[in-house]
Amino acid sequence: MTVAGGENGPAKGADPGSGASTSILSGGWRDAIGKCCLGWLLALFLVLAFVLDSRTGVINFLRLPLFLAVLLCVRGDDLRRLWANGAARWFILLMAWLTLTLLWDGVGEDDWKILQRGIQVLTLLLAVFAVAARQPGWQAALVKVFVLAGACGAALILWDWPGGPAAIAGAFPTLDRAYFYTRGIFTISIFTGWMMAVLFIAGFYLALSSAPRLALVFYVACLLFLAVMLASQARSAWLAAGCGFAMVVWGRQPRRLGWWLAAAVLVVGLAALLSDDFRSLLATSFDRGNSFRVAIWRNCVEQLLAAPWQGVVGFGLSASTVNLAGGAEHSHYHNLYLNTLYYGGLVALILYLGCLWQLVAAGVRGRLPWLWACLLLPMQLAFVVDGENFFVTPSAMMLGYLLPLFWAMTGWQPLRHGPDGAGPTGERGPALSPSSS
């Protein structure tokens, strides 16, 4: 049936301009905004996050231009599509529950600051899904921007490297580590290491999947990522990068996995033999003493056992996680799962695991692109020994983990083009529909 302003155009005898007017009134201008600028703004945000020598500037860009664009272009059917996505639904419920826990200790100024961080996370989630719906062909470009902008950031960090964490702590014992590492999303060394690990995995994946000339660019980028990651002495990042490296080779060139692993061991061994600085860096990293992880985790468990009801509903996202272990003060419990359990209780932990389960189920059905699995699984391993919470200002937690998590939710094929995923082959499984659960 043909109706005025419908998909088949205005009805016979209707005002010729009524179709356009109806389209505008029905929200067509939202699509126009989304198709015109949202992909560009998301790409610009990625660039600024890595290269801008101002953390505040990155946050303000996310709060203002990107937030306003998302606010203007998102429609009711976008929200319904988001809610219909199983993994996204669990994550939204998690964010809602953590927000609710802010009320456990009353309302204060700090709660508003934390709530702003949650809005930033949801802005990124909505931006990813809106671009997926309106500009699906942007995926390959966005992943490349993500890696190449990260390479620029890594080069800038190396250019002005202040020294490793141990050296800084020895030379400036009274200064906050974040003072030395601030550049866009980069703050303390562990966040820098995580970000470099994720960029290395993504860059190596693209290198194995690209034409020779472009592959060379990605290999050079991977060297930059490795250099910064090793210099940051973030050992959990080393674990993530090693796991991701093996997964990428197994997914892209499974018959060469043994050769790649042997080459990696050989390169590290030669570097340790030929470079005194590299050998010293490794020795310092492994001789940094007891990290007191077990004692820190015990502190969290004792807190939860002492207040069983808080173990169910959490102490609240604004509750302090400062604890003492080994004579040192620690700001959190160095385990994403324990931190989630502490802040939001079993409710929050179940919601988070539900989100992960949806992605695992998609992977079992062959609907999770392999790149996202290579990024997310290694980070889950790293989060066993570190990780704070999901309500973050733009940092390596957001772009190193949450951004790939959101991309995985949409099921975008990073090497395919077009709204139906048609294009270069080699990815595992069909594209995961945003409405799949």
In a domain, 430, yes or no: no
| DSSP three-state, residue 9 | strand
pLDDT (mean) for 272-300: 70
Question: Do 429 and 78 contact (CB within 8 A), yes or no?
Answer: no
pLDDT per residue over 217-230, tens digit each?
999 999 999 988 88
* 158-186 residue pLDDT tens: 887 666 666 666 666 666 655 555 678 88
pLDDT of residue 368 exceeding 70? yes
pLDDT exceeds cutoff 90 at 287: no
Q: Where are the beta strands (DSSP E) in 376-427?
A: none
Q: Answer whether residue 435 is part of any domain.
A: no
Q: How many distinct structural domains can be found in the chain?
A: 1
Which comes out higher in pLDDT, residue 319 or 11?
A: 319
The lowest-confidence range among 234-238, 285-289, 310-314 is 285-289
pLDDT score of 106: 81
Task: Check if the beta carbon of residue 98 is closer than 8 Å to that of residue 318.
Answer: no
Reported confidence tier of residue 48, pLDDT bands at 50, 70, 90: very high
Closest CA to 336 of 387, 401, 301: 387
DSSP for 305-329, please give it. HH-HHHHHH-S-TTS---EEETTEE
Q: Return the amino acid letter for 331.
A: S
Q: How far apart are CA 423 and CA 81, in angstroms?
A: 24
**What sign for the dihedral angle of Cα 329, 336, 41, 65?**
negative
Please report whether residue 132 resides in a domain: yes
Long-range Cβ contact pairs of 339-343 (< 8 A, separation 24 or more): 339/300, 339/387, 339/388, 339/389, 340/389, 340/390, 341/300, 341/304, 341/311, 341/314, 342/300, 342/303, 342/304, 342/314, 342/315, 343/98, 343/101, 343/314, 343/315, 343/316, 343/317, 343/319, 343/389
18 lies in a domain? no
Domain containing 96: what range? 29-410
Answer for the pair 400, 406: CB distance below 8 angstroms, yes or no. Answer: no
**Ranges of H-type helices in 13-85:** 18-23, 29-33, 39-51, 55-61, 67-73, 76-84
Q: Please give the radius of gyration of the chain, using alpha carbons only, rounded to the nearest integer.
A: 23
Contact 406, 129 (CB under 8 A): yes
Could you tell me if residue 437 is inside a domain? Answer: no
Q: What CA–CA distance (Å, rounded) separates 79 from 362?
A: 21
Whether 91 is in a domain gets the answer yes
Segment 370-421, tens digit of pLDDT:
999 999 999 999 899 888 888 887 888 889 999 999 999 998 888 764 333 4
In the chain the first and final C-alpha atoms are separated, in Å, by 32
**Helices and strands: H and E segment counts in the chain:** 22, 2
- For residue range 265-276, list pLDDT tens digits in order: 777 777 666 666
Residue pair 38/69 in contact by the 8 Å Cβ criterion: yes
Handedness of CA 148, 129, 116, 111 (dihedral sign): negative
203 pLDDT above the threshold of 50: yes
Residue that the structure tokens 């390479």 belong to: 151
Give the dihedral sign, CA 304/305/311/316. Answer: negative
89-98, 183-192, 280-289: the lowest-pLDDT one: 280-289
pLDDT at 22 over 80: no
Taking residues 14-19, report their average pLDDT. 44
- The pLDDT of residue 155: 92
Q: What angle do CA 398, 399, 402 make, to 5 degrees?
A: 55
In a domain, 254, yes or no: yes
pLDDT, residue 280, reads 65
Measured CA distances, 244 to 129, 153, 241, 375 (Å): 25, 21, 5, 6
Mean pLDDT of the chain: 81
Predicted pLDDT of residue 107: 80
Asked if residue 188 has pLDDT above 90, the reply is: no
Q: Rounded distance, CA 132 to CA 135, Å? A: 6
Count other Cβ atoms within 10 Å, centred on residue 301. 14
User: Does any domain span residue 426?
Assistant: no
